[in-house]
Amino acid sequence: MTGVAPHITVHNLVTKLDAKLVKQKPRPMKPKVALMVKEEVMKLLQVGFIKPVDYSQWVSNIVPILKKNGKIHICIDFRDINKACPKDDFPLPSIDVIVDATARFEILSLMDGFSGYNQIRISKQDQAKTTFITPWGTYCYVVMPFGLKNAGATYQRAMKYIFHDLIHKIMESYVDDLLANARKH
């Protein structure tokens, strides 16, 4: 699998020592929605973002979101695992600083790190903490999904590591958005 090299960063799900393990009960879903969920889960499995898992101590529910085009977007209810994780205090940049840093440039190019979170692996020992339940079994993430408490901090840390020589010179980074600057006024 390609993505951000593990020596740059992996996402760790550090849990508080007194955290209560939670296995959410499966939520019922209509058969049509269940088949759509199965299709999306199979896509995630095929690209290597998830893997089947047995006997996880943490289990979260799928929250299927129906889109206007009739398809679904799968979200995971990570509220319980998020409560069990202390906050990662890695700083996010100030929007005001980013705006001030880019004001002197004529040309700006904004880039969205599409599926950027999914380019960062979850540490092997923490993958099972991302387990989610479907009508066809339980799966866990191998890569960092949206919705985990400290995912933004992990992603920002990776961007700082990769682009540290360029930030505040010719580019800015705010989580999964990159702004390249060119030609000063």
The percentage of the chain sitting over the pLDDT mark of 70, rounded to a whole number, equals 98
Q: Give the count of beta carbons closer than 10 Å to the beta carbon of residue 108.
A: 14
120 belongs to a structural domain: yes
First and final C-alpha spacing in the chain: 42
8 belongs to a structural domain: no
Element (H, E) at 137: strand 137-141
Q: What is the pTM of this model?
A: 0.89
Query: Residue 171's Cα: distance from chain center in Å?
Result: 23
48 belongs to a structural domain: yes
141 belongs to a structural domain: yes
Given a cut of 80, whether residue 113 has pLDDT beyond it is: no
Tokens (6 digits) for 99: 């705006």
**Structural domain tally of the chain?**
1
Given a cut of 60, whether residue 177 has pLDDT beyond it is: yes
Given a cut of 60, whether residue 34 has pLDDT beyond it is: yes
**H helix and E strand count, the chain:** 4, 8
144 belongs to a structural domain: yes
pLDDT at 109: 84
pLDDT at 137: 95
User: At 26, is the secondary structure helix, strand, or coil?
Assistant: coil
Range of the domain at 62: 31-184
Confidence of residue 185 (pLDDT cuts 50, 70, 90): low
Q: Which range has the worst mean pLDDT, 24-28, 80-84, 129-133? A: 24-28
111 belongs to a structural domain: yes
102 belongs to a structural domain: yes
Provide the edge-to-edge strand list for the sheet that holds 105-112. Answer: 105-112, 177-184, 171-174
pLDDT, tens only, 51-108: 999 999 999 999 999 999 989 999 999 999 999 999 999 998 888 988 888 888 888 8
Nearest by Cα to 149 from 94, 79, 90: 79
